[in-house]
């Protein structure tokens, strides 16, 4: 090992120590082997020791400054390898902390639609509406699905892009394999974002962009969940990379754009922005536009089949989703969330100014601006994680932020540049990972495991059991295959009639609620004796987040004074 290698090893150990310090350590089970590393002290001590040894050796050789200059030169030469390493770590992190869970509306919607695609089915057919004669078909459609004009036939709420990407992995390995699509997307998004930055401002900008996106809290938060935000960011950024490199791979860029459109159709108009780079060369224009047009036509056909109109999405019509009155509240929320979680991205305009003379920079800036504009008029949400809508724009912001920072570092003495890059990267890691940890990004798997545990409990019930649920209605049907009654979509009278019909037919009925649903459930339906929840739950799962299951058959036993046992799973 030569003297200068000590610097590189110390830098790697310093990065690991920072990650351990701000993340609380790593605990994971891989192949049955439990891995636990918590304290950063031994690793940081080793890093300092290596720096000390290098300092003594370099001072004796009168080579401190030459070594630091060579470290900078080596980093610049090997920047692409560093980027690949950061992207790989991002993908592995997403895989290790992945929820592998269908909990909630979005995850269950994407996974259940992927299951339908893997089975070659466009619709889900549910016998329950016909069995209970439901006048309102919405009460039997779980979250992630919506009724069609045919009794018992339901269409997915979500666009087809991500479920199509998940379909083959889901067919081969179920939920876990399908979730790996997100982890792969995280690695690809980081790599592509870095490569775009490198094209604009060199390899150091690429390293900074990779590190910045990889530790952006909302990116970390979404990279562990089976949702569309990270994959659509990956598709857009790979498209931009192919165009910015000017490699002539316009058809591949068009394919990436088509995938992005299928994943997130509301951003389809932004497919026109790449024309700023492509120009109006007929052959290149056709090569790019053809796959995008095919994707658009396929999407319109599916929307016609599912929702009765090629211009209607699963979320509703444009008039229902977009309004100018949303601009002010959304602007306030997005800005406050960005300042709270990723303030460094606010430097991006400085990077735009640095790179403005390059045509790709203008197109990237226009793209990011239009992404933000599209969501300023979109529906208003109250939770910080909806910053995820802007992830494609945030990836571009990471590009321009890295351009600005790399430009500033380039003004330093050569002997200080490597240390400056290391300090910036370590600072980004410390802030981003600590924020993500505070926002529970690394605890989501533990929090959401309760839903599959509830499903395992329900799997022991009769196959014709019916689940009354709300937030986890999509997840519980996905896992258990049992029919659903949506309490949040049903009127008290409609739910009472449905339960009465099912009870007369002897079908088991259970109520499954997340803890936060108990109060609104009782407020809406507490007057119905059958669902008053005055008896103990039969099953309870979860730690900081709880989900409980009540069997309606336990109510009469409880009223007779008999004891109802509750099974609890942490």
Question: CB neighbours of 41 closer than 8 A, spacing ≥ 6?
Answer: none
Give the model confidence (pLDDT) of 14-36 as tens digits. Answer: 888 887 777 776 665 555 566 66
d(CA 494, CA 506): 19
Say which residue the tokens 């959304």 belong to. Answer: 330
Rounded-to-5 percentages of helix, strand, coil across the chain: 65, 10, 25
> What's the Cα-to-Cα distance from 391 to each of 155, 186, 294, 396, rounded to whole Å?
27, 11, 25, 9
Mean pLDDT, range 275-286, rounded to an integer:
89
Mean pLDDT for 364-390 is 96
pLDDT tens, position by position, 206-245? 999 999 999 999 999 999 999 999 999 999 999 999 999 8
pLDDT value for 41: 81
- Digit-coded pLDDT (tens) for 383-417: 999 999 999 999 999 999 999 999 999 999 988 99
List the alpha helices (DSSP H) in 133-216: 161-201, 203-214
The mean per-residue pLDDT over the stretch 110-116 comes to 97
Q: What pLDDT score was predicted for residue 140?
A: 95
Tell me the whole-structure pTM to 2 decimals.
0.93
- Give the per-residue pLDDT at 15: 86
**Per-residue pLDDT, 168:** 96
Rounded to whole angstroms, how far apart are CA atoms 37 and 467? 41
Torsion of CA 204, 208, 211, 212, to 10 degrees: -160
What CA–CA distance (Å, rounded) separates 47 from 350? 34
Q: Is 64's pLDDT higher than 90?
A: no
How far apart CA 338 and CA 216 sit, in angstroms, is 10
Answer whether residue 141 shows pLDDT above 70. Answer: yes
pLDDT at 474: 97
Tens digit of pLDDT for each residue in 462-511?
999 999 999 999 999 999 999 999 999 999 999 999 999 998 888 999 99
């Amino acid at each position: 090992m030569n003297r200068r290698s000590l610097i590189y090893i110390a830098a790697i150990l310093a990065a690991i120590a920072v990650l351990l310090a701000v993340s609380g350590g790593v605990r994971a089970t891989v192949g049955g082997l439990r891995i636990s590393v918590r304290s950063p002290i031994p690793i940081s001590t080793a890093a300092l020791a290596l720096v000390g040894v290098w300092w003594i050796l370099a001072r004796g050789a009168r080579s401190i400054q030459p070594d630091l200059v060579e470290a900078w030169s080596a980093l610049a030469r090997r920047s692409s390898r560093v980027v690949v390493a950061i992207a790989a770590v991002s993908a592995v992190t997403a895989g290790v902390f992945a929820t592998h869970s269908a909990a909630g509306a979005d995850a269950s919607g994407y996974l259940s639609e992927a299951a339908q695609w893997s089975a070659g089915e466009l619709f889900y057919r549910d016998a329950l509406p016909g069995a209970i004669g439901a006048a309102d078909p919405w009460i039997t459609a779980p979250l992630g699905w919506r009724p069609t004009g045919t009794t018992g036939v339901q269409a997915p709420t979500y666009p087809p892009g991500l479920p199509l990407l998940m379909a083959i992995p889901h067919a081969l390995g179920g939920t876990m394999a399908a979730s790996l699509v997100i982890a792969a997307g995280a690695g690809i998004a980081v790599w592509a974002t870095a490569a775009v930055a490198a094209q604009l401002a060199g390899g150091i900008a690429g390293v900074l962009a990779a590190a910045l996106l990889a530790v952006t809290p909302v990116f970390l938060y979404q990279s562990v969940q089976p949702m569309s935000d990270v994959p659509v960011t990956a598709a857009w950024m790979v498209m931009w990379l192919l165009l910015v490199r000017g490699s002539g791979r316009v058809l591949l860029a068009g394919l990436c754009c088509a995938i992005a459109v299928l994943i997130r159709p509301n951003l389809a108009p932004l497919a026109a922005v790449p024309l700023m780079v492509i120009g109006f060369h007929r052959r290149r224009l056709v090569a790019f536009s053809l796959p995008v047009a095919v994707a658009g036509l396929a999407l319109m056909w599916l929307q016609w089949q599912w929702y009765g109109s090629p211009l209607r999405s699963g979320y509703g019509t444009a008039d229902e989703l977009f309004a100018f009155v949303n601009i002010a509240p959304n602007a306030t929320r997005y800005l406050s969330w960005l300042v709270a979680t990723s303030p460094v991205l606010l430097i991006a305009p400085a990077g735009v100014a640095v790179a403005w003379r390059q045509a790709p920079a203008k197109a990237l800036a226009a793209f990011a601006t239009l992404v933000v504009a599209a969501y300023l008029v979109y529906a208003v949400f109250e939770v910080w994680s909806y910053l995820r809508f802007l992830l494609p724009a945030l990836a571009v912001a990471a590009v321009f932020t890295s351009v600005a920072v790399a430009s500033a570092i380039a003004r330093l003495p050569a002997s200080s540049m490597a240390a400056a890059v290391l300090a910036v990267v370590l600072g980004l890691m410390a802030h981003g990972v600590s924020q993500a940890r505070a926002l529970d990004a690394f605890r989501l798997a533990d929090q959401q495991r309760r839903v599959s545990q509830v499903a395992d409990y329900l799997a022991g019930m009769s196959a014709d059991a019916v689940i009354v649920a709300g937030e986890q209605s999509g997840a519980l049907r996905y896992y258990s295959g049992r029919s659903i009654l949506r309490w949040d979509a049903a009127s008290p009278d409609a739910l009472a009639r449905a339960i009465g019909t099912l009870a007369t037919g002897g079908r088991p009925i259970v109520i499954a609620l997340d803890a936060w649903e108990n109060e609104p459930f009782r407020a809406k339906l507490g007057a119905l004796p059958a669902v008053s929840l005055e008896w103990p739950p039969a099953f309870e799962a979860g730690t900081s987040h709880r989900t409980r299951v009540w069997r309606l058959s336990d109510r009469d036993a409880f009223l007779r004074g008999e004891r109802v046992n509750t099974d609890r799973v942490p």
